[in-house]
Amino acid sequence: MVIYLDNANTTKPDPEVIKVMLEYLKEKYGTPGGEFGHIFDEDAREAIEEAREKIAKEINASPDEIIFVSDETEADNLAIKGIAWAKEKGKVLASKIERKAILNTVKRLRDWGFDTYEVSVDKEGFINLEDLQSNLKGAILFATHLGNFEIGTIQDIKAISEIVHDKGALLYLDANHAFGKVKIDVKKLDVDLMSITAHLIHGPKGIAALYIRDGVKLKPLLDGDVRERGIRPGMINVPAIAGFGKAVELINYDDAKRMAKLRDKLIDLLLSIPNTKLNGPRGDKRLPNNVNVSFGHVEGESILLHCDLRGLVFSTGSACYSQELLPSHVIRALGGSFEDAHGSVRLSLSKWTTEEEIVKAYEIIKDVVEKLREISIYGGKR
């Protein structure tokens, strides 16, 4: 059996999710149509509206505030470009440690004449609130995350939204990695837009939701019909939406508590390997399923490949593993060296991860790191 610790990349769909989806693939294969649809259309409409209600309830929003999109990248693009186009000009900010989809969307806006700014973070990945505050002049939007995809840092969104709103800007929150693990209330967090995706909570790939607070205006990326209120026209992915709804229904915050315990155990075990450091904070300010450490003197892709061949999978911030051959921008933004980035690995747990797997994963990694350090140019230093 392979030990799968790459759940921040994607998760295994829950069998119950697959069961629901099959129904909408095999029998109820309609799509919501006009005002008076036929029986197939109506079954489909019922399914997506039921899912929309479940999702809205989970984050304390109204169903009208939920738009289905294909994934988190589309949600990022729709939220950021949609707001920018609606406002026509102004400044768009993001933190330095966002996912590439957010950073590159903001870069695109800069090419198109918008002012942009990347807000710095401290060494644990917390957004520098002073840097944010002092760069909000003329701002229309700040795009950031609730829980960091790579190092698990959970941001103080209440403080951030207060600062952002005080300057009259909107806040877009990428909650994809926190959703289902951290209880989210859009009213309490006071966010204007927020994205959550299905595939990180044991739902299907190819579906995500964008929360748009009632009254917030944005322009669509695609022009088409009036489906999803014209904000996201196009074919409705009914089976995926039904699966998403089921995945949300299956969220259980006791799983998060259990994951947090295993996370802490894995962190402690990995830090017992000499010359290893933790990236991101400890405790409640860290996503319950995220572990990220840097091993000195060794490179991530080598660690990954060795572990993969021994039945353990996860991911790395090493340049060698990326198609662009660039080391992790997150680790670098924390002030980490190139070596810290190349030697960083992210292990992400799921509700199904067991203590036995955690211990086994540690044993494999320890052995691999020791083996690679014997080859290392740093003279086999431990």
Size of the site for other proteins (CB under 8 A): 29
**115 CB-near residues (< 8 Å, 6+ apart):** 90, 91, 92, 138
Q: Are 105 and 76 in contact (CB under 8 A)?
A: yes
CA pair distance 176, 211, nearest whole angstrom: 12
Residue matched to tokens 């204007």: 192
- Closest to 369 (Cα-Cα) out of 266, 294, 279, 291: 294
User: Does residue 295 touch other proteins according to CB under 8 A?
Assistant: no
User: Does residue 186 touch other proteins according to CB under 8 A?
Assistant: no
Q: Which of 319, 320, 359, 364 is catalytic?
A: 320
What minimum distance in Å lies between the beta carbon of 376 and other proteins?
6
Instruction: List the beta bridge partners of residue 295.
Output: 276
What minimum distance in Å lies between the beta carbon of 298 and other proteins?
7
CA pair distance 101, 121, nearest whole angstrom: 18
User: Does residue 308 touch other proteins according to CB under 8 A?
Assistant: yes
User: Does residue 305 touch other proteins according to CB under 8 A?
Assistant: yes
Exposed/middle/buried for residue 101 (C-beta within 10 Å: 0-12, 13-18, 19+):
buried
Q: Are 200 and 179 in contact (CB under 8 A)?
A: yes
Residue number, 29 or 338, with CB nearest to other proteins: 338
CA pair distance 379, 382, nearest whole angstrom: 9
Catalytic: 320? yes
Among 302, 344, 350, 353, binds other proteins (CB under 8 A): 302
DSSP code of residue 192? S
Q: Are 67 and 74 in contact (CB under 8 A)?
A: no
- Using the contact rule CB under 8 A, the part of the chain among 149-157, 267-275, 319-327, 351-359 near other proteins is 319-327
User: Does residue 335 touch other proteins according to CB under 8 A?
Assistant: no
What minimum distance in Å lies between the beta carbon of 372 and other proteins?
8
Among 39, 226, 235, 309, binds other proteins (CB under 8 A): 309
What minimum distance in Å lies between the beta carbon of 361 and other proteins?
14
User: Does residue 370 touch other proteins according to CB under 8 A?
Assistant: no
Among 86, 221, 319, 359, binds other proteins (CB under 8 A): 319
Residue number, 10 or 376, with CB nearest to other proteins: 376
Among 310, 352, 359, 370, binds other proteins (CB under 8 A): 310
User: Does residue 318 touch other proteins according to CB under 8 A?
Assistant: yes
CA pair distance 4, 12, nearest whole angstrom: 9
Residues in the chain: 382
- Closest to 290 (Cα-Cα) out of 311, 315, 321: 315
Dihedral in degrees, nearest 10, Cα atoms 86, 92, 96, 99: 10
Angle formed at CA 9 by CA 109 and CA 122, multiple of 5 degrees: 60
What minimum distance in Å lies between the beta carbon of 281 and other proteins?
26
CA pair distance 253, 272, nearest whole angstrom: 29
- Using the contact rule CB under 8 A, the part of the chain among 101-109, 126-134, 279-287, 310-318 near other proteins is 310-318
Backbone angles phi, psi at 298, to 5 degrees: -130, 160
Enter the tokens of residue 347: 């292990």
User: Does residue 202 touch other proteins according to CB under 8 A?
Assistant: no
Residue number, 52 or 306, with CB nearest to other proteins: 306
- Closest to 360 (Cα-Cα) out of 322, 314, 294: 314
Phi-psi region of 125 (alpha: psi -120 to 50; beta: other; left: phi over 0): left
Among 91, 181, 227, 306, binds other proteins (CB under 8 A): 306
Residue number, 259 or 298, with CB nearest to other proteins: 298
Among 257, 338, 354, 382, binds other proteins (CB under 8 A): 338
What minimum distance in Å lies between the beta carbon of 357 and other proteins?
15
- Using the contact rule CB under 8 A, the part of the chain among 20-28, 196-204, 265-273, 313-321 near other proteins is 313-321
Among 339, 352, 359, 370, binds other proteins (CB under 8 A): 339
CA pair distance 134, 104, nearest whole angstrom: 23
User: Does residue 374 touch other proteins according to CB under 8 A?
Assistant: yes
Among 26, 254, 325, 356, binds other proteins (CB under 8 A): 325
Positions marked catalytic: 320
Q: Which residues bind other proteins (CB under 8 A)?
A: 297-299, 301-302, 305-306, 308-311, 318-321, 323, 325, 327, 337-339, 342, 374-380
